[in-house]
A = this chain, B = another copy of it.
C-alpha cells in the first residue's frame, strides 16, 4: 500500500471545488509517491460546508480554521479562502509544521507576503502558490522552447487577461470587489497570473508604469452582504455599496534583460470569458497562447525555410508532452481543472523530497513586488523601479 498524506482544506467554493477534484484525480493519473486523503474541509457557513463536504468527498468538516491547522493528523493545509485570510492561516499552519498550498495572489500586499515567506522558511515546510497556469501543457512547451533557444532573445511579452463577468451594473458587490477582503480587483486576481508567467518565461522586471479604472463605482449589495455590512445608505429601494477595487489595470514594463512588456487585465471586455492571451516575440521565433483554447500553442520559427514560415498550431496533447501524456491520446483535450491536478502531483512529489516546487512563496513575494510597483506608479503617475518597493 502507498503512503498517504492527510489534507485539511480551508475554503469550499470555486477553488475549493477545483482543489478537491485535484486530490481525487491525482492518484489515478499521476501515481504520486503519496496519496492525498481528503480529511477535513473548513468553512464558516455550516449548512453549505456540510453539503460541500459530502459532494466533494471530504471525510469531515470544521467551521474554525484554527482547529484544522492545529489537528495532529493534518499534514498539508490547503488555503483557498479570500485573500485577506491567507496570511493568518499560512503563518499559523507554518508554525504547526504543516506543508502549505496557498491560492494566489499570495497575500494582500508585499509586507504580508514577506512575513509569510519568512514563516514558511523558518518552519522548514514545503510550500507552493497555486499559480496554476504554469502547468498548462502548452505553456510548459512554451517554457521549453524558450529554454532551448528556439525563440532567441526575447523582445516582447504581450499579455492580456480579459473577462466580462461584471459588465452588468446590477452585478452585486461580491467579496472580490471589496478591497478589505480581496486586496485589489483584477490586479491581484488576473495580473498576478500574468506577472507570474512573465517572470517564469521572460525573467525579472526592471520597471513599470500603470493605469487603472473602476468603471462602475457602486453596486447593489448581495443579499448575504446586507446582513453583514452596516453604515450603508439606501439608494432608492436598493442598498448599494462602493466598489473599492480596480475593474481594470494596465501596465507597461521593462524587463531586466531588455524585453518590453505590455499587460492588461480587465473584467469589462464583453465576450472574453477567461481571455488570457500571451504573445512572445524573440529574435528567432514567436509564441502565442490563448487560455480559451488551452490545448494549443502557436509557434512561429525563423528557422523554417522562408516559404514555409507561419504560425503553427501545435496541439499539446498526447504522449509527446509532459503532463498531457498522463491523460489521453493526441487530440483528446484536457480542461481547466487539470492544471490543479498537475500542481498537486508536483506538490506531493515535493513533499516526499522535502523541496518546494515552483511557484512557491518566493515567487509569491516577487509577484507581489511587481503588483505593488504598478500600484505605486499609478499613484505617482510615473515609472517606478521594482527595487523601489522592496
Contact B275 A270 (CB under 8 A): no
A281 within 8 A of B: yes
A156 within 8 A of B: yes
Count copies of this chain in the complex.
Answer: 4
Contact B335 A320 (CB under 8 A): no
CB distance from A174 to the nearest CB of B (A): 13
The chain B residue sitting closest to A338, CB to CB, is B335
Contact A281 B266 (CB under 8 A): yes
Which of B215, B264, B273, B333 is the one whose CB lies under 8 Å from A292? B333
Q: How far is the CA of A322 from the CA of B167 in the complex (A)?
A: 24
Contact A156 B268 (CB under 8 A): yes
Which of B155, B269, B330, B336 is the one whose CB lies under 8 Å from A328? B336
Check A155/B281 contact, CB under 8 A, given A313-B310, A336-B334.
Answer: no
CB distance from A301 to the nearest CB of B (A): 8
Contact B335 A248 (CB under 8 A): no
Number of interface residues of A (CB under 8 A): 96
Contact B309 A314 (CB under 8 A): yes
Check A213/B273 contact, CB under 8 A, given A28-B57, A332-B335.
Answer: no
Contact A252 B254 (CB under 8 A): no
A251 within 8 A of B: yes
A260 within 8 A of B: yes
Shortest Cβ-Cβ A-B pairs, 7 listed: A273-B331, A274-B331, A271-B300, A312-B312, A382-B382, A335-B335, A310-B312
- A–B Cβ pairs within 8 angstroms, 7 of them: A21-B25, A158-B160, A209-B209, A215-B258, A270-B285, A271-B300, A308-B312
